[in-house]
Structure 1
Amino acid sequence: MTNYAPLIIQRADPFIYRHSDGYYYFTASVPAYNRIELRRSKTIAGLAHAMPRTIWRKHESNSGEESELIWAPEIHFINNAWYIYFAAAETTAFDDNGMFQHRMFALECLNDDPMRSEEDWVEKGQIKTPMSTFALDATVLQRADQLYYIWAQKDPEIFGNTNLYIAEMSNPWTLKSVPTLLSKPEFEWETRIFAVNEGPAILHRNGRYFLTYSGSATDENYCMGMLIADENADLLDANSWHKLSQPVFQSDVAHHLLGPGHNSFTVSEDGQTDLLVYHIRNYSDIKGDPLYDPNRHTMVQAFDYDESGVPVFGKPVRFTEE
């Protein structure tokens, strides 16, 4: 089985994309939250030693949007162009809802090689939704010629921090349809300390779309849930999605593998094994705000499916140094 525990230390919100050029592209939140890095390798193991390339830096502090707290970048290849989605704030202060002030943004690469230069990446601006509230963790789903945007956002009228939404896009940086609410924190395991649904990721297998996400506070309570939709369903209809009532991946407290979540998916080098990419902590005694503790590490592990074709992630794999 393909497991890397950890693959890269101090990289939270990890995203790995395997491109048609045979390279794996990796990006994640850096502990300083001040830039976006890319690294690439022909192998997953090679990502651990690949030289990171900074492709974008935050604006000068206190200069407006995109000047603070750069979170959770993802790299995608859409319509023959590279895009990066990320969240950024204009200040580290909280808003009137007691939350950070993040909004969602997109970058487009003007070169075929996304690693070549910072100058190749241009800002496409904020991806605006009908609510001007805390929003983050966007990913995209492509089905034929349709492009969907899936993200987490605060609705002041709904209990909790963030819910999950989906909307169709007219281009890779503009929403086309009215957002559909897919999930809100409602179960006990989604509402520990903070009521959260965030970090959506899409897996298309066995005639279905599996939408994983993370819930609760970002300490040992953090865990993953899942929604399922038929691949031919109306993805903008909330009734097309079935939400599981139990978490699908959670802490292994006995082995100090705590708070697994904010995942993505990739495949092994031979294309035969599906891989879960996520971050985790290996201790619970966090000083201060867990957000500013840098020790969330990127993990990669293989997973399988049950008889009905639903992913079974098992437990977090133990650190190789143990």
Structure 2
Amino acid sequence: MVSLSRLSRLLPVGVLALTLACQNGSSPAPTPTPPSPPAPPTSTTFTNPLLTVGPDPWVYLKDNTYYYTSTTGGNIVIRKTAKMSELGSAVSTIVWTPQQASINQRDLWAPELFFFDGKWYIYYSADPFCCAGHRVHVLENASADPTTGTWTYKGRIANPTSDLWAIDGTVLEQNGKRYLIWSGHEVEASGTQRLYISEMSNPWTLTGPRVELSHPEYNWETNGEPDVNEGPEILKHGDKTFLVYSASHCSTDDYALGMLTASSTADPMQLSSWTKSATPVFVKNPAGRAFGPGHNGFFKSKDGTEDWIIYHANPNSGQGCGDNRSPRMQKFTWKADGTPDFGTPVALGTALPKPAGE
């Protein structure tokens, strides 16, 4: 018989335990299964603001990835994220600094990112140190990912017969054509900001006339100085095209959203195609610390079932046009007549369900 001391040197520990258990006339004890680690907590909500600073927020969704931009002043930054509720931890990339490209510009505002014809384009406003102030400018990038590759400056986008002060360019696609919509001056000496549209022959060139679509006329559009219609954004739903814009001066708490409505098949260059709402569609919520809500964008939830608005607002009264404006987002619904119901700006710190699919 092999001694236990020798057996322990010859057999693996597991076999030795089994042998000893059999010699003692008992079955081997089962090896205990380690407990499964607890599942990490899964949060289903988020709170506003998404970032502490972010005037003029814009979101573009492509291939299940969200790209976010906002006004920084001296450059253009893109944040890239799979989940809008996690924008605060998104990777942030500086993609354009004019001076590094030997282009003399200052006060870069309201960049908007689009993907057209296999390339990325950014429309932004900047003062080129000439021509009585700001103009809308265009950048182009052929990379699949707009946070990589090289951005090329394509120049100012302006109508040859009306190259006047202009900001907040956005693009409408309708009836197989593209149109630039922006906020500008009627004449060089005018301070009033109006909304204009012009057809595009390519992503960086306008063709034909500019047409005025809206100017400040109601009391809620004329708070502060000068009178302002700006930040035009396109929203489509069913058989309607909506142009949602910001009204009154950003220095006031009463900066708010107005809306124009047209048929989705109408000629957007015809003023008669548009109907202007006589009342604002999104206004301040002082109790919720949302002052001057505006300059918004729109996006779909990850699963495509929900519509969301992203906008900036100040947390306190009297903070005006500075960096206290923070980006916030909330889901919105649709009324029986097919128009959007944006509701009221949700109070800061309120737990909101994350966009569906996140």
Q: TM-score with structure 1 length normalisation?
A: 0.89
The CA distance in 2 between the partners of 1:245 and 1:145, in whole Å, is 30
Q: Find 1:85's aligned residue among 98, 123, 127.
A: 123
The residue that corresponds to 1:192 in the other structure is: 223
Equivalent residue runs for 1:57-76 within 5 Å: 57-59=97-99, 66-76=104-114
Query: In structure 2, do the counterparts of structure 1 residues 215 and 222 end up closer, same or farther at CA, with 3 Å as the change threshold?
Result: same
1:203 to 2:235 alignment: yes
SS of match in other structure, 1:176: strand
Query: In structure 2, do the counterparts of structure 1 residues 157 and 70 end up closer, same or farther at CA, with 3 Å as the change threshold?
Result: closer
Alpha-carbon shift at residue 131 of structure 1 (Å):
2.5
The residue that corresponds to 2:287 in the other structure is: 254
Equivalent residue runs for 1:160-309 within 5 Å: 160-194=191-225, 195-218=227-250, 219-286=252-319, 290-291=320-321, 293-309=322-338
The CA distance in 2 between the partners of 1:311 and 1:158, in whole Å, is 36
- Unaligned residue ranges in structure 2 (runs of 5+): 1-43, 352-358
Q: Find 1:135's aligned residue among 138, 163, 166.
A: 166
What is the aligned length?
305
CA contact (8 A) 2:137 2:157 kept: yes
Query: In structure 2, do the counterparts of structure 1 residues 145 and 282 end up closer, same or farther at CA, with 3 Å as the change threshold?
Result: same
SS of match in other structure, 2:209: coil
The CA distance in 2 between the partners of 1:83 and 1:166, in whole Å, is 18
Query: In structure 2, do the counterparts of structure 1 residues 303 and 3 end up closer, same or farther at CA, with 3 Å as the change threshold?
Result: farther
Query: In structure 2, do the counterparts of structure 1 residues 44 and 67 end up closer, same or farther at CA, with 3 Å as the change threshold?
Result: same
Q: Which amino acid aligns with 2:70?
A: A
Deviations 1:255-279 (A, max 9, x none): 3210000011001111111001100
SS of match in other structure, 1:26: strand
CA contact (8 A) 1:133 1:153 kept: yes
SS of match in other structure, 1:239: helix
CA contact (8 A) 1:2 1:302 kept: no
SS of match in other structure, 2:87: helix
Alpha-carbon shift at residue 66 of structure 1 (Å):
4.7
Alpha-carbon shift at residue 59 of structure 1 (Å):
2.5
Query: In structure 2, do the counterparts of structure 1 residues 160 and 149 end up closer, same or farther at CA, with 3 Å as the change threshold?
Result: same
Q: Which amino acid aligns with 1:145?
A: G
The CA distance in 2 between the partners of 1:174 and 1:196, in whole Å, is 25
The CA distance in 2 between the partners of 1:43 and 1:4, in whole Å, is 14
Alpha-carbon shift at residue 157 of structure 1 (Å):
8.1
Q: Find 1:45's aligned residue among 72, 85, 101.
A: 85
The residue that corresponds to 1:98 in the other structure is: none
Query: In structure 2, do the counterparts of structure 1 residues 190 and 9 end up closer, same or farther at CA, with 3 Å as the change threshold?
Result: same
Q: Which amino acid aligns with 1:318?
A: A
Higher strand content, 1 or 2:
1
The CA distance in 2 between the partners of 1:107 and 1:4, in whole Å, is 33
Determine which structure has greater relative contact order: mean sequence separation of CA pairs < 8 Å that are 6+ residues apart, divided by chain length. 1
Higher helix content, 1 or 2:
2
The CA distance in 2 between the partners of 1:137 and 1:3, in whole Å, is 29
Q: TM-score with structure 2 length normalisation?
A: 0.80
The CA distance in 2 between the partners of 1:319 and 1:88, in whole Å, is 31
Aligned CA RMSD, in angstroms, stands at: 2.2
Deviations 1:158-200 (A, max 9, x none): 9752100111100000012211110001111111112100000
Q: Which amino acid aligns with 2:83?
A: T
CA contact (8 A) 2:294 2:311 kept: yes
Alpha-carbon shift at residue 116 of structure 1 (Å):
1.2
